[in-house]
């Protein structure tokens, strides 16, 4: 299967890149990544000398599932803590040895045009394929006026992006922070500044936990903690939404997106691609399992593409964007009811407990612990489906046009009807 | 029939296995969960609504709640939840046939035949709280009332603790030299390692207000009446001290004895290498006692161990799990087989076995089974003569509050009808009787 990717002119043998982060901090790691089969890397963010320093205590905090499954990871690591020249030399070597892979360099320097101009010249000499502007990191650097301090002000994004465009002919990717209210504005600003693409999301400001004995947030450095950047499987839904928001915004619809945020398996990647990302960047999954996961990702995506009859990424990138809409356009005449498969039911009663306590009292509990949906009360909220421990035991069944909805007493119609037409809407077209 | 000379050496002897091997054989039957295992197992609980496991527990422990408390990293809070319902929760976690109680009703048992390991989780929680130096419950101010509890088994101890908690003074009269009853004397050693039963009682007494008098038998109805005079209430947790009889020729032969005596000898042994077992051990019976005796004699070094059960396997009182455990340890279970006679010259040497007709087969097959040691595990009964209390099928009759026919006297545990011979049921009855005794003080 052809997984060849072309991301705003940067070619890679597959759409799986390693995001700018510890896995791409050094030649040694990147070499291992390319040997393992990764399509590209975004080198760990470079800054100006003198290079920054990191804490010497723990850099990561975590949220675990019961079997220590890593659900979310939080870090207080800063950008690279090695001299600029060291990084540049290694980037050059890597690009020379792996010409078919994407090597993009992440950058973060102070908000002065000369600083950007200076570093961009040096990056170009390495032969790197492009740059990614780190306007995302929410910790440490943002307090120094960089990272998300830029990404949270659309005017700054536009200004700096324009400086960079003026200073280089390399493709420019702007990495966005999710620590904002509406992702469309930073994306539009990047586009206005001339960005070739955006990548998102960077990490979310977070405190993962507080030690109940020391009263200190984790990770603790000598009795104190600070907020870090949160990533991993837990942030994927937030990232998917932000990617979709940019993809379906008419102003940025044609702006290439590199999807980032909790991508752990090929399925996650496929979802990002369907929502408009042209490639994906992975970090936490690699930091949890090592680089070998790339084999699962490429094989899984290939097989799915074959099953769907897709020959290249272009065949399906953005296929789901048209299906993302605003709430007001959802069809209110689409009616479903929960259905419990009694053969699969193990009688735990969770559906009953949650429906009775927190929802619509639409499940009846019979004498022998048989649970049945009360159609007169069921609003089809899906909570029972979501809490049921048995897959496919509770499902949603669509009422067909002509059938009676016992809750509303109305016959289901095959006509569409959304909020814009609803009589209760003062702004309704029919009102 | 010719038998070997009686002067030959007794084949029932000690030291068949090295002490190292025996120590290995008698390690904890179910090793305890560590913290991570407990967290993973606790996460398997679905926190069922009106959970079936609770209803299946005679003491009605709020199982989903205590498991959620373990999952949330507070095993000691979980232990309080357990102990509030069952003060001997630590012991029950070890000896309860969970496979036919809470775990049988676990929805995951129904769904995937792999229930949440409720017993092991209960042990995880109770072990942690017992490792603390202080007793977790507090005694209410002294009421000045006093209660006599007869028998320091599970029923008596549960009753005593609940009464002490309410502020009453409790005197426990135990006929044997050690407290604990069946938990101390009548359960296989590999289920209760490291003197757990003893340690648990010591911990239980931490509530205060309980005085235990050992070697203090209450033997007659007159004794009971005297206790009723001296105390404000009496609770009888007598257990079953006598044995059901077997009408079989050869009972008097050497090396034929009751299984509970063997089990007690094993439990009380300083060194398990001192316990004598035969080459061919046969256990008559089909309950937990039969399994405990059979498995232990195998673990001590008997070559062949056979359980003879007169009925069908499905009718055995020992659960399927217990039967599997026995099979796994190398015990052969022969169902539909009855001992017709024990034979031997002074010592038992073989058993004449009558096999009942099995469905689909005609006639009876007579067999001779070599047996140099025989354990009878055919059930126990109330010591005769039963007190002059109303009885039902040979056991003390009580109402739903544990009241006997004699005012001021309550009873619970194995000595009351109908009885299921479970420690956990005894705990529930002792506890509930204590609540009723306490309530009755309010009435008067």
**Which residues of A fall within a CB distance of 8 Å from B108?**
346
Of B40, B42, B46, the CB nearest to A389: B46
- Residue A273: pLDDT above 50? yes
- For CA atoms B352, B357, B360, B361, give the dihedral sign: positive
Tokens of A406: 């016992």
Interval B138-154 mean pLDDT:
97
Calpha distance B12→B373 (Å, rounded)? 7
Least Cα distance to B316 among B340, B334, B295 occurs for B334
**Lowest pLDDT segment from A241-250, B54-63, B412-421:** B412-421
Q: Which pLDDT band, with edges at 50, 70 and 90, does B256 fall under?
A: very high
SS3 B388: coil
Res. A300: pLDDT tops 90? yes
Interface residue B242 vs chain A (CB under 8 A): no
**A99: pLDDT strictly greater than 50:** yes
Cα–Cα dist B372/B306, whole Å: 12
Does residue A359 belong to the interface with chain B, where contact is any CB pair within 8 Å? no
**Residues of A with active-site annotation:** 137
What is the rounded CA–CA span in Å between residue B130 and residue B199? 9
pLDDT band at B382 (very low <50, low <70, confident <90, very high): confident
CA distance A380 to chain B (A): 21
Touching check for A423 and chain B: CB below 8 Å? no
Q: Which two tokens stand for residue B197?
A: 């039963």
Q: What's the pLDDT at B367? A: 83
Least Cα distance to A385 among A342, A347, A355 occurs for A355
DSSP E strand stretches across B195-349: 210-213, 233-236, 242-243, 256-258, 280-285, 304-308, 331-334, 337-343
What radius of gyration do chain A's Cα atoms show?
25
| B48 has a chain A CB within 8 A of its CB | yes
Is the minimum CB–CB distance between B65 and chain A shorter than 8 Å?
no
Rounded mean pLDDT, A164-188: 97
Give the pLDDT confidence score for residue B324 in this predicted structure.
Answer: 94
Residues linked to residue A199 through DSSP beta bridges, in sequence order: A175, A258
More confident residue, B3 or A222: A222
Closest partner residue to B40 (CB to CB) among A66, A346, A353 is: A66
**Which residues in chain B are closer than 8 Å to A350, comparing Cβ atoms?**
46-49
Q: Which two tokens stand for residue B208?
A: 């205060």
Task: Taking residues B307-334, report their average pLDDT.
Answer: 93
Provide mean pLDDT across the span B144-167.
97
The beta-carbon neighbor of A353 closest among B39, B49, B111 is: B49
Decide if pLDDT at B246 tops 90.
Answer: no
A136, two tokens = 């995302």
Collapsing DSSP states into helix, strand and coil, what is residue B252?
coil
| Contact (CB<8Å) A348/B46 | yes
Residue A417 backbone zone (phi > 0: left; psi -120 to 50: alpha; other: beta): beta
Given CB atoms, is B71 within the 8 Å cutoff of chain A? Answer: yes
Pairing between β-strand A257-260 and β-strand A279-282 as defined by DSSP bridges: parallel
The CA distance from A54 to A80, in Å, is: 9
What rounded mean pLDDT belongs to chain B? 92
Confidence of residue A12 (pLDDT cuts 50, 70, 90): very high
pLDDT at B386: 55
Residues A372-393, mean pLDDT to the nearest whole number? 97
Q: With beta carbons less than 8 A apart as the criterion, state whether B174 and B200 touch.
A: no
Residue B364: pLDDT over 50: no
Which residues in chain A are closer than 8 Å to B51, comparing Cβ atoms? 349
Nearest CA distance, A289 vs chain B (angstrom): 20
* Residues in B 300-329 with any Cβ partner in A closer than 8 A: none
| Whole-angstrom distance, CA of residue B384 vs CA of residue B393 | 13
Counting beta carbons within 10 angstroms of the beta carbon of residue A20, is it exposed (0 to 12), middle (13 to 18) or buried (19 or more)?
buried
Count of A-B CB contacts under 8 Å: 38
Query: Which positions in chain B touch A390 (Cβ < 8 Å)?
Result: 111
What b/e sequence results for B137-151 when a residue is b if at least 16 CB atoms lie within 10 Å of its CB, and e otherwise? bebeeeeebbbbbbb
Q: Which residue of A has its CA nearest to B42?
A: A66
Cβ–Cβ gap A66/B43 under 8 Å: yes
Helix (H) or strand (E) holding B22: helix B19-25
- Which residues does chain B have within 8 Å of residue A349's beta carbon, measured at their own beta carbons? 48-51
Pick from B159, B64, B48: nearest CA to B118: B64
SS (H, E, C) chain A: CCCCEEECCEEECCCEEECCCHHHCCHHHHHHHHHHCCCEEEEEEECCCCCCCCCCCCCEEEEECCCCCEEEEEECCCCCCCCHHHHHHHHHHHHHHCCCCEEEEEECCCCCHHHHHHHHHHHHHHCCCEEEEECCCCCCCHHHCCCHHHHCCHHHHHHHHHHHHHHCCCCEEEECCCCCCCCHHHHHHHHHCCCCEEEECCCEEECCEECCCCCCEECCECCECCCEEEECHHHHHHHHHHHHHHHCCCCCCCCCEEEECCCCCHHHHHHHHHCCCCEEEECHHHHHHCCCHHHHHHHHHHHHHHHHCCCCHHHCCCCCHHHCCCHHHCCCCCCEEEEECCCCCCCCCHHHHHHHHHCCCCEEECCCCCEEECCCCCCCCCHHHHHCCCCCCEEEEECCCCCEECCCCEECCCCCCCHHHCCCCCCCCCC
Tell whether A347 lies on the interface with B, counting CB pairs under 8 A.
Answer: yes
| pLDDT, mean of residues A174-200 | 98
Close Cβ partners of A100 (under 8 Å, ≥ 6 residues apart): A11, A12, A13
Two structure tokens written together for B172: 């426990």
Q: Which helix or strand (DSSP H or E) is residue B229 part of?
A: helix B221-230
Band of the pLDDT at B243, cuts 50, 70, 90?
A: confident
Q: With bands split at pLDDT 50, 70 and 90, how would you rate the model's confidence at B1? A: very low
Determine contact: A153 vs chain B, CB below 8 A.
no
Burial of B40 (0-12, 13-18, 19+ CB in 10 A): middle
Q: Tell me the pLDDT band of A397, cut-offs 50, 70 and 90.
A: very high
Q: Is residue A213's pLDDT more than 90?
A: yes
**Cross-chain residue pair B49–A352, CB shorter than 8 Å:** yes
Residue B2 pLDDT > 80? no
Q: Which residues of A touch B43 (CB under 8 A)?
A: 65-67
Residues within 8 A of B (CB atoms), A 65-84 only: 65-68
pTM of the model: 0.91
Pairing, β B365-370 against β B350-355: antiparallel
pLDDT in tens, A45-97: 999 999 999 999 999 999 999 899 999 999 999 999 999 999 999 999 999 99
CA atoms within 13 A on the CB side of A99: 1
Which residues, 6+ apart, have CB-to-CB distance to A157 below 8 Å?
A135, A150, A151, A174, A186, A189, A190, A193
Q: Is the peptide bond before B385 cis (omega within 30 degrees of 0)?
A: yes
Residue A158 near residue A165, CB atoms below 8 Å: no
Nearest CA in chain B to A347: B107
Residue B122 near residue B82 (C-beta atoms within 8 A): yes
pLDDT at position B387 over 70: no
B46 to A66: CB separation less than 8 angstroms, yes or no: no
Residue B4: pLDDT over 70:
no
Which range among A133-137, A288-292, B217-221, B389-393 has the greatest average pLDDT? A288-292
Judging contacts by C-beta atoms under 8 Å, the chain B residues touching residue A353 are 49
Residue B431 pLDDT greater than 70, yes or no: yes
Q: What is the mean pLDDT of residues B404-431?
A: 95
Whether residues B40 and A365 touch (CB distance < 8 A) is answered with no
- Inter-chain touch B110–A346, beta carbons under 8 Å: yes
What pLDDT, on a 0 to 100 scale, did the predictor assign at position B362? Answer: 40
The answer on pLDDT for B366 being more than 50 is yes
């Amino acid at each position: 299967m052809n997984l060849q990717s072309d991301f705003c002119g940067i070619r890679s043998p597959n759409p799986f890149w390693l995001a700018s982060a510890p896995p791409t901090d050094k030649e040694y790691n990147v070499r291992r990544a390319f040997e393992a089969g990764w399509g590209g890397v975004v080198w760990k963010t470079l800054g100006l000398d003198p290079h920054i320093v990191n804490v010497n205590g723990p850099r990561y905090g975590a949220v675990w599932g019961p079997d220590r499954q890593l659900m979310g990871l939080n870090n207080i690591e800063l950008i690279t803590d090695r001299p600029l020249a060291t990084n540049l030399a290694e980037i050059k070597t890597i690009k020379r040895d792996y010409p078919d892979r994407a090597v993009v360099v992440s950058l973060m320097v102070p908000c002065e045009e000369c600083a950007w101009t200076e570093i961009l010249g040096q990056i170009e000499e390495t032969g790197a394929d492009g740059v990614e502007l780190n306007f995302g990191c929410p910790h440490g650097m943002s307090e120094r006026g960089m990272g998300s301090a830029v990404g949270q002000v659309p005017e700054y994004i536009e200004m700096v992006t324009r400086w960079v465009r003026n200073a280089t002919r390399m493709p420019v990717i702007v990495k966005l922070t999710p620590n904002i209210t509406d992702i469309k504005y930073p994306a539009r600003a990047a586009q206005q500044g001339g960005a070739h693409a955006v990548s998102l999301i960077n990490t979310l400001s977070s405190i993962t936990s507080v030690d109940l004995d020391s009263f200190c947030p984790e990770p603790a450095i000598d009795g104190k903690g600070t907020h870090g950047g949160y990533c991993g499987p837990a942030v994927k839904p937030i990232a998917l939404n932000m990617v979709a928001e940019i993809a379906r915004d008419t102003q940025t619809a044609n702006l290439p997106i590199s999807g980032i945020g909790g991508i752990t398996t090929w399925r996650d990647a496929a979802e990002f691609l369907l929502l408009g990302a042209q490639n994906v960047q992975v970090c936490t999954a690699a930091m949890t399992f090592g680089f070998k996961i790339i084999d699962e990702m490429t094989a899984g995506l290939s097989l799915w593409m074959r099953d769907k009859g897709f020959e290249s990424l272009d065949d399906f990138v953005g296929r789901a964007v048209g299906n993302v809409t605003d709430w007001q356009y959802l069809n209110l005449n689409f009616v479903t009811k929960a259905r419990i498969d009694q053969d699969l039911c193990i009688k735990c009663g969770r559906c009953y407990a949650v429906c009775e306590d927190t929802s619509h009292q639409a499940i009846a509990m019979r004498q022998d612990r048989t649970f049945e949906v009360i159609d007169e009360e069921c609003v089809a909220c899906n909570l029972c489906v979501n809490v049921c421990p048995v897959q496919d035991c509770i499902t949603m069944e669509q009422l067909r046009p002509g059938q009676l909805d016992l809750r509303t007493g109305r016959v289901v119609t095959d006509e569409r009807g959304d909020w814009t037409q609803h009589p209760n809407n003062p702004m309704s077209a029919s009102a | 029939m010719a038998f070997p000379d009686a002067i030959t050496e007794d084949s029932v002897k000690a030291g068949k296995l090295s002490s190292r091997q025996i120590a290995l054989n008698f390690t904890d039957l179910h090793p305890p969960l560590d913290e991570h295992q407990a967290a993973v197992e606790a996460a398997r609980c679905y926190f069922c609504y009106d959970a079936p496991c609770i209803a299946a527990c005679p003491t009605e422990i709020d199982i989903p709640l205590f498991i959620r408390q373990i999952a949330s990293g507070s095993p000691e809070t979980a232990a309080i939840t357990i102990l509030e319902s069952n003060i001997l929760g630590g012991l029950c976690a070890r000896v309860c046939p969970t496979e036919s109680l809470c775990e049988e009703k676990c929805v995951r048992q129904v769904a995937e035949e792999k229930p949440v390991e409720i017993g092991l989780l209960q042990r995880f929680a109770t072990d942690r709280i017992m490792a603390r130096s202080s007793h977790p419950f507090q005694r209410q101010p002294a009421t000045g009332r006093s209660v006599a509890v007869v028998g320091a088994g599970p029923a008596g101890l549960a009753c005593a603790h609940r009464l002490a908690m309410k502020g009453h003074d409790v005197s426990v009269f135990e006929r044997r030299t050690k407290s604990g009853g069946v938990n101390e004397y009548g359960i296989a050693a590999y289920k209760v390692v490291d003197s757990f039963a003893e340690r648990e009682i010591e911990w239980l007494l931490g509530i205060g207000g309980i005085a235990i008098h050992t070697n203090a038998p209450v033997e007659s109805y007159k004794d009971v009446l005297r206790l009723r005079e001296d105390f404000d209430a009496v609770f009888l947790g007598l257990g079953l001290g006598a044995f059901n009889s077997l009408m079989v020729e050869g009972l008097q032969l050497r090396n034929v004895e009751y299984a509970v005596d063997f089990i007690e000898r094993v439990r009380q042994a300083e060194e398990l290498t001192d316990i004598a077992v035969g080459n061919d051990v046969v256990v008559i019976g089909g309950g937990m006692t039969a399994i405990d005796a059979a498995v232990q004699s195998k673990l001590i070094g008997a070559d062949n161990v056979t359980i003879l059960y007169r009925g069908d396997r499905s009718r055995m009182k020992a659960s399927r799990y217990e039967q599997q455990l026995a099979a796994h340890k190398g015990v052969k279970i022969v169902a539909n087989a009855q001992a017709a006679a024990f034979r031997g010259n002074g010592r038992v040497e073989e058993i004449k076995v009558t096999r009942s007709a099995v469905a689909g087969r005609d006639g009876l097959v007579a067999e001779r089974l070599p047996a140099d040691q025989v354990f009878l595990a055919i059930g126990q009964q109330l010591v005769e003569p039963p007190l002059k209390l109303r009885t039902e099928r040979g056991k003390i009759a009580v109402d739903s509050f544990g009241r006997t026919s004699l005012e001021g006297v309550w009873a619970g545990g194995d000595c009351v009808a109908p009885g299921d011979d479970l420690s956990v049921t005894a705990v529930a009855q002792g506890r509930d009787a204590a609540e009723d005794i306490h309530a009755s003080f309010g009435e008067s």
